[in-house]
Amino acid sequence: MSVDQASNRWIVLDTETTGTDPGSGHRVIEIGCIEIVDRRKTGNNFHVYLNADRDSEEGALRVHGLTREFLADKPRFADVVEKFLAYMDLQAQPEIVIHNAAFDLGFLDAEFARLDAQAPPFSEGLRVVDSLQVARERHPGQANSLNALCKRYAIDASARTLHGALLDSELLADVYLALTAGQAALSLDLAVETVAERLSSQARRLPRRLVLPTSEELDRHRQRIEALQAIAGDAVIWAQQRKAAG
């Protein structure tokens, strides 16, 4: 869906997984969420590591570094789902901001389906903004990975030696605020224009009065111009224009 600046609450979400295909049994092993209200990060975040009861693929492990041993004592998805849903508060219809949303939502749909195969998909009815698509629209033909966007918007991603759901959500929140800042700026420009029009209209209603410089002011101006010409010589622009016109 399109970016909705009127939305009051955004949840920036990211996951880490054991692989790339939930259809092959790969699982979510980390969820991170950052809350933004009225374009400000609130600090009300959600973060959990999950025991998936399986190993990560070698490629995935190189990305996030979350080993099966590290996750062995962590809760399973079923243990945290109620807390997760309470945090999301989906009845209030927050906007869910995800970079490459289809990937994360595919995994979350699979996790919810394991709990209740008859229930509608978790993603059904969500108000989702794919920040990758927003970035591609803003910067067509350019790299729009999270790292590339952090570099483009001067957001410090030096801590991102490995991917992590909470860290990546934090970075994405800053990126998304920068990505959508132009829309807020446009609204501000319109407001400023309206104020300028009003001031201009007021000025047109004021009586006009011609104010001439005094002889003393003219003399000080002449002295100033002569001093500048003495310093700049032929580099004085108005002198060049005068010669060209003359």
DSSP per-residue string spanning the chain: ----TT-SEEEEEEEEESSS-GGGT--EEEEEEEEEETTEE-S--EEEE---SSPPPHHHHHHH---HHHHTTSPPHHHHHHHHHHHH-GGG-PEEEETTHHHHHHHHHHHHHHH-TTSPPTTTT-EEEEHHHHHHHHSTTS--SHHHHHHHTT---TT-SS--HHHHHHHHHHHHHHHTHHHHHHHHHHHHHHHHHHHHHHHHHSPP---PPPHHHHHHHHHHHHHHHHHHGGG-HHHHHHHHH-
- In the residue annotation, 163 being an active-site residue is answered as yes
Q: Which of 64, 99, 139, 163 is catalytic?
A: 163
* Catalytic site positions: 163
